[in-house]
Chains A and B, each alone.
Chain A
Amino acid sequence: MKHRRGILILSALGLGLVAVARTARAQTPAVRLDSARALVRIGEYDSATAWLNPVFQDPSSTQAQRGRAFLLSASALFMKENLTLTPQARSMLRFALQADSSVRVEPELETDVPGIREHVETLRRELYPPLTARPAAPVVEALTVNPAMLTDTTLPAVNTSFPIAPRPSRAARAIAAVLRADARAVEIWRDTAEAADSTRPLVWNLRGRDGAIVPEGLYAVQVWAQEPGTGVLSATVERTLHVSRLAADTQPLPPPLQPSAFAPETLRLRHGSPGAVLVGAALGAAAAVLPTAFGRTELNQGLAGDQTAYAVAASVGVAGLVGYLGGHRARYSPENVQRNAELRRTDAARRAAVAAANAEARANAPVRVRLERSGP
C-alpha cells in the first residue's frame, strides 16, 4: 500500500511540474516576442505594447530579446501614429540599438511596418558610426522621396483616411497626388507638406473632387519633393493602389405583386343587361309590324299577317331573352380599385425602402485599399 501511495504522490508532483513548466514557457520572453509580432501584424498595436512590457522587467531576458522587444514596441507606436516616428518611438528604437546593436528589421516586419527599417538604419549610423569613416568634404546628396503607405488595409466609409508618408531624404516640401491610373489627366487629390512637416504623412480621405468615395479601380499615387531654398525637385515616385468596396449587406427586393394579389376591378355579374330583353323585344316587334306599319293599304288589305315576319320576330325576341339569361354584365367596383391602388402604393413604398436601404448599405460599405506594385 505504501509503495502504491508513493507512486501516486510522485505522479501528482510530476504533473504539477509539467504544468508549471508550461506556464513558465507561456510567459517566456521568446513567447511574448512572438505573440507581440503577431499582434503587430494584425494591427493590434496597443495590445502588442502591453504584451511586451514584462520582457523589459524580466531579468531572464537576454539583450537580444530586449532589443527585439524595443524594436517591436517602436514599430507598434510608429504604426499607431500613422507612420510618424514620434520622439517616444525614436527613443524605443534607440533603446533597441543600445540593447542589441545588431538588431535587424526583417523583410516581413518591413512589409507590416513600412519605413521602420530606414529609421532603424539611420539611428544605427548615428549611434555606431563606421570606424572607417573619414572626414570628407560634404557631399550634396540628391533629393529623393521614399513614400510609405499601408500595403493592404480596410477602412470604414465614414471619416476615411489613408496616410501617405512622403519621407523625403532631407527636409523639403513634400507633395503627393492621386490620379486615375487609366486617365492620368484626371487628378483626384493633391496635398503638400511644408519642409518643417515633411516627416508627417499626408492623409487622403479616399474621396474625389465631388466629395464621394472614389469608384473601384486603380489609382496612381505620385510623390515628389522640392527643396525650399534651391527649388531642386526630386524624382517622382509612383505607387499604384487598388481601391475596392467590400460587399455590402443588402437585402433582396420583394418579388413583384402577382395578378392574384389584386381584387377584380370589374365584377362579372350573372345575367346580361335587361336592355338585351328590351332590344330583342323591340326588334322583334319591329319585324312583326313592318308590313302593316310601312306597307300600303292597297297592297296589304285583306291579307293575313306574314308568318315569316312573326317567325323572325319570335327569333329575335328569344335571342334577346337568351342574351339576358345566359349573358353576363360587368360592374365597375370602385372599392376594389381603391384597394388595388393602396396595394400598389404599399408595394412601391416597400420596394423603395428596400432600394434606399441597399443604396445606403452600398454607400457605407468599407473600402479596401491595396498597394498593387511599387514604382521606380
Chain B
Amino acid sequence: MRRRGSCGSPRARSPGRGVAAAPRIRARLALAIALVAPALPGAARAQGIGGTVGGFNTQRRIYYESAVYEQTGLMYGGAGSLRLGPLLVEAGTLQGTLAGDGSTANADTKVRATTARAQIALGPWARLGAQLESRRYEADAGPTVWRLLGAAVHVEPGLSITGLRGWADVAILPASLVSGGPKLKVAMQVAVGASFSPRRSPLNLRLGYRFERYDIEASGLAGERYEQFRGIVAEAGVRLGR
C-alpha cells in the first residue's frame, strides 16, 4: 500500500504561507503569556502550580492518494500549569523526530507541538475549556505549520484510593487549518489513562493511551489526506499548592 508522494509534507503544496503563519501564532502565545505572567506570583501563593515532563511513543500514519505511510518515534516534552480558583491555565510543548522509511515521500519528520489550554472546573473531577495548538512539521521538503483550535474536556474520576484516579482528555478542534493551506475537516485528540499521586507528596504519575485524528480536506490538485497519531503516554509531574 505504501507509495511515494508529496503527502509526507503538506508544506510542499504551499511553501510561502505556512511559514509566515507560524511566527504569528508564536506572537499570540507570547502575548497571552505576557498578560498572564504578572499575576503569576500572587496566584501561585493563592492557588497552585504544576509541572509535567513526559513522553509520547508515537506512531504516525498518513493516508494520501490511496497510499499509507507510517512514521514512528518518541516525542517528549513538558508542560506547566497554573490554577486560579476554578480556572486552570496550561501550556506545554512536545517534540521529537518521527522516522519514516527513508524515502523521499516518507522522510523523517521533526514535529514540535506547542499547546495552550484554559479550562474551567465544572466539578471536583471535570473541566471544560479551550485549546490552542501550533504544530510544526519539518521535513526535507520544508516546514509546515498547523494551527489547531477548539474545545477541550478533561475528566478525572477517583478510583476509591486517595491519589489514584482515572483520566480522559478529549479535544475537538474544528477551527483548525494548515497555515496557508487547506482546512482540517476533522481534528480530534483523545487520551485516556490512570494517574497516581503518593499520599502527602506533590508527585504525580500518569500513564495513558493517546489517539489523534486529522482529516485534511482536498486542496487544488491535492486530494484529501488523513493522519492519525497514536501511542502510549507516560508523564511525571509535581503539583504545588491547593
B53 at the interface (CB under 8 A from A): no
Question: Closest approach, in angstroms, between the C-beta of A250 and any C-beta of chain B?
Answer: 48
Task: Check if A276 is an interface residue, CB within 8 A of chain B.
Answer: yes
Give the contacting residue for B209; candidates A271, A299, A309; CB below 8 A: A309
Measured between beta carbons, the chain B residues less than 8 angstroms from A313 are 209
Instruction: Determine if A323 and B231 form an interchain contact, defined as CB atoms under 8 angstroms apart.
Output: no
Given contacts A296-B63, A308-B232, A309-B230, contact A319 B194 (CB under 8 A): yes
Instruction: Quote the shortest CB–CB distance from A273 to chain B (angstroms).
Output: 5
Q: Mark B46-61, 1 if CB is under 8 A from A, else 0.
A: 0000000000010101
CA distance A327 to B168 in the complex (A): 21
Neighbouring B residues of A273 by C-beta, 8 Å: 160
Tell me whether A283 and B68 are in contact (CB under 8 A): no
A27 to B57, CA, bound (A): 122
Is the Cβ of B161 less than 8 Å from the Cβ of A279? no
Check if A296 sits within 8 Å of B164, measured CB to CB. Answer: no
Flag whether A287 is at the interface (Cβ < 8 A): yes
Q: Is the CB of A316 within 8 A of B161?
A: no
Determine how close the nearest CB of chain A comes to the CB of B134; give it in whole angstroms. Answer: 23
Contact A290 to B190, CB < 8 A, known contacts A279-B157, A298-B226, A326-B161 = yes
Chain B hits for A168, CB < 8 A: none
Does chain B have a CB within 8 A of A224? Answer: no
Give CA–CA (A340, B142) in the complex, Å. Answer: 74
- Is there a chain B Cβ closer than 8 Å to A228's Cβ? no
Q: What residues of B have a CB within 8 angstroms of the CB of A166 in the complex?
A: none
| B211 contacts A291, C-beta separation under 8 Å | yes
Q: What are the interface flags for B190-206 relative to A under an 8 Å C-beta threshold, 1 for contact and 0 otherwise? A: 10111010000000000
In the complex, chain A residues 304-327 whose Cβ is within 8 Å of any chain B Cβ? 306, 308-309, 311-313, 315-316, 319-320, 322-324, 326-327
B198 to chain A, nearest CB (A): 14
Asked if A18 CB lies within 8 Å of chain B CBs, one says: no
- Give the number of residue pairs across the A-B interface with Cβ within 8 Å: 114
Q: Is A232 an interface residue (CB 8 A)?
A: no
Q: Specify which of B161, B166, B211, B215 is in contact with A327 (CB 8 Å cutoff).
A: B161
Please name the residue on chain A nearest to B188 by beta carbon.
A294
Asked whether, in the complex, the Cβ of B209 is within 8 Å of the Cβ of A312, the reply is yes
Closest residue to A296 on the B side, CB-wise?
A: B226
Point out the residues of chain A lying under 8 angstroms from B209, CB to CB.
287, 290, 306, 308-309, 312-313
- 15 A-B pairs besides A298-B68, A298-B226 with CB distance below 8 A are A272-B161, A273-B160, A279-B159, A283-B192, A290-B192, A290-B211, A290-B230, A294-B213, A299-B62, A300-B61, A308-B209, A309-B230, A323-B159, A327-B159, A329-B160
Give 22 CB contacts A-B under 8 Å: A275-B157, A276-B159, A276-B161, A279-B157, A286-B168, A287-B209, A291-B230, A294-B211, A296-B215, A296-B226, A300-B61, A300-B228, A308-B57, A311-B232, A312-B207, A316-B208, A320-B166, A323-B159, A323-B161, A327-B161, A328-B160, A329-B160
